[in-house]
């Protein structure tokens, strides 16, 4: 009898492999993109017929030999009333309940996107009043992976006072602005992790197309190949024993002082391709699972991890990642990002080399090279001592302005003034801006500040600047008789920068020169 049972099971492996499953992000309370054929996928028995129904619409497909299936179903117009997605195959059924139809956005980046509402003490009242059944967020787990993943842990949560504390603050304010303006559901997929460079979120295939980023991939592959798990375990156990011994001595003798680094418990070294800062790793684990989820676009807050002179220029790596994602989604979706905020002590001298300002300006350049992108300028909301500004409302709502104008047809001023062109006159330079609204203004009503001007000697001087008409600034200095270049807000913290438009939105950092920046320590 046992032999017969073994033969039956051997000949019918589907008895062991019978399944019907979908990734975690296809779950209760999710939001599907309106007016589109929304993609759904999962696993079933090999070659099984899969049937899906939603709000009177149906779709069907057949699972492949490996059990994987994918199809789409029409969603129709936005709908605030929850409905059920039913998926059936092989005699099994999955019901996904309270599904809304509206606008879906993907949020990613590092710590300023991951920063939660509960970490912003100033938003306690906002949290208490957050009863928005039409706003939902999926928070993805922080995980790494060597190979591309098809699923990731997490769950959809409705915007209530109980759930909002764990929402990304920037993404929440972005969603709330859209929800209030459009009156339809908004779903956010938040897949962000603090302290990580842009290369971690980009596929290694894409990184290999640029010499600078390919070098990073090559170094990671070399380190991964040299990884010895036995040696790593032995080193970890040795360090752990030392740490425990030092801890015990410190307990017995309180006079012994240990640095924070000495107090930190050692961790087991991992292979490079399973370490979160390495190129492509977070793409495998935290981006790839969502590839194909039907959505309107993406929002991005990152760059702190790339603010250095030695980095591959951000106006190369950001478009590389954007185009990589769009290619994999097979969708040229909108992509809006936050320019870095002001940070560190204010500079007081013109011409001070600054990698922070250089990266901010490279972010601005992406607007001209990569279609369907937008940038929220926040160079007045930062903190001199904290890389995480507590003001997350302005970044979120300024991202939403781009979406409202570009994706939803609102006739609004959607950005602060953006440099367009310059005209060198006899003893001055005229700068022309876009997105001035009803006209350029000075935030504090005083003279314009943080304009710098230089001649062919490349020596920078603080400049006199005055508004000329609706969209121009005339910049000059008695110390520069024949000017050739202008910069504005060129500092990590350009304290005093006060050029705004009629909507009160700040002007982005810019420069008219392309002179190399000298390295600083």
| Sequence-separated (6 or more) residues with CB below 8 Å from residue 453 | 429, 460, 461, 463, 475, 476, 477, 480, 483, 485, 486, 487
- The model's confidence at residue 2, banded by pLDDT at 50, 70 and 90, is very low
Task: Report whether 136 contacts 156 (CB < 8 A).
Answer: yes
**Stated pTM of the model:** 0.94
* Interval 147-189: pLDDT, tens: 999 999 999 999 999 999 999 999 999 999 999 999 999 999 9
Mean pLDDT along residues 445-469: 97
- Percent of the chain with pLDDT strictly greater than 70: 95
Closest CA to 487 of 447, 448, 451, 442: 451
Q: Which helix (H) or strand (E) holds 362?
A: helix 355-369
pLDDT digits (tens, 9 = 90+) for 303-358: 999 998 666 899 999 999 999 999 999 999 999 999 999 999 998 999 999 999 99
- d(CA 144, CA 287) in angstroms, rounded, equals 11
What was the pLDDT predicted at 277? 96
- The per-residue pLDDT for range 392-402, each reduced to its tens digit, is 999 999 999 99
Query: Is residue 320 helix, strand or coil?
Result: helix
Largest CA distance in the chain: 102
According to the model, what pLDDT value does residue 253 have?
Answer: 84
Please give the pLDDT value at position 246: 87
497, two tokens: 């920068």
Instruction: State the angle between helix axes of 211-225 and 314-329 in degrees (0 to 180), rounded to the nearest 10.
Output: 80
CA distance between the termini of the chain: 77
If pLDDT is split at 50, 70 and 90, which confidence band does 41 have?
Answer: very high
Q: Are strands 464-468 and 472-476 parallel, antiparallel or unpaired?
A: antiparallel
Cα–Cα distance between 211 and 312 in angstroms, integer? Answer: 9
User: Band of the pLDDT at 248, cuts 50, 70, 90?
Assistant: confident
């Amino acid at each position: 009898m046992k032999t017969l049972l073994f033969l039956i099971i051997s000949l019918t492996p589907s008895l062991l492999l019978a399944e019907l499953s979908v990734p975690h992000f296809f779950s209760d309370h999710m939001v599907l993109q309106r007016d589109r054929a929304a993609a759904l996928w999962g696993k079933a028995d090999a070659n099984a017929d899969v049937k899906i129904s939603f709000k009177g619409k149906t779709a069907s497909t057949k699972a492949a030999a490996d059990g994987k299936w994918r199809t789409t179903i029409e969603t129709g117009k936005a709908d605030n009333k929850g409905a059920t997605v039913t998926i059936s195959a092989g005699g099994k059924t999955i019901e996904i309940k309270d599904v809304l139809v509206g606008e879906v956005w993907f949020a990613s980046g590092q710590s300023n996107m991951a920063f939660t509402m509960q970490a912003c003490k100033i938003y306690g009242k906002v949290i208490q009043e957050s009863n928005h059944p039409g706003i939902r967020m999926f928070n993805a787990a922080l995980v790494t992976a060597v190979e591309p993943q098809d699923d990731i842990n997490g769950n959809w949560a409705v915007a209530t006072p109980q759930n909002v504390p764990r929402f990304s603050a920037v993404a929440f304010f972005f969603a709330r602005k859209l929800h209030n303006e459009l009156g339809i559901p908004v779903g956010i997929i938040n897949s962000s992790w603090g302290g990580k460079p842009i290369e971690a979120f980009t596929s290694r295939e894409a990184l290999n197309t640029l010499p600078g980023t390919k070098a990073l991939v090559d170094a990671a592959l070399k380190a991964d190949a040299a990884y010895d798990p036995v040696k790593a375990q032995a080193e970890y156990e040795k360090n752990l024993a030392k740490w425990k011994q030092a801890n015990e001595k410190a307990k017995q003798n309180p006079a012994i002082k240990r640095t924070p680094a000495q107090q930190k418990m050692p961790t087991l070294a991992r292979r490079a391709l399973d370490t979160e800062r390495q190129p492509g790793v977070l793409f495998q684990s935290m981006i790839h699972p969502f590839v194909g989820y039907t959505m309107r676009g993406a929002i991005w807050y990152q760059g702190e991890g790339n603010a250095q002179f030695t980095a591959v220029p951000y106006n190369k790596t950001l478009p590389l990642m954007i185009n990589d994602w769009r290619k994999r989604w097979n969708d040229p979706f909108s992509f809006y990002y936050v320019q870095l905020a002001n940070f560190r002590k204010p500079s007081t001298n013109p011409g001070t080399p600054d990698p922070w300002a250089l990266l901010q300006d490279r972010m601005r350049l992406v607007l001209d090279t990569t279609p369907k992108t937008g940038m929220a300028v926040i160079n007045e909301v930062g903190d001199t001592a904290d890389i995480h500004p507590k003001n997350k409302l302005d970044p979120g709502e300024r991202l939403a302005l781009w979406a409202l104008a570009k994706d939803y047809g609102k006739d609004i001023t959607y950005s602060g003034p953006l440099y367009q062109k310059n005209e060198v006159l006899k003893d001055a330079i005229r700068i022309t801006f876009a997105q001035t609204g009803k006209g350029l203004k000075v935030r504090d009503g005083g003279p314009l500040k943080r304009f710098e001007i230089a001649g062919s000697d490349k020596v920078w001087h603080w400049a006199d600047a005055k508004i000329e008409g609706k969209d121009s600034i005339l910049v000059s200095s008695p110390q520069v008789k024949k000017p050739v270049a202008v910069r504005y807000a060129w500092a990590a913290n350009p304290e005093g920068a006060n050029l705004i438009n009629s909507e009160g939105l700040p002007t982005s950092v810019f420069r008219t020169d392309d002179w190399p920046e000298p390295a600083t320590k």
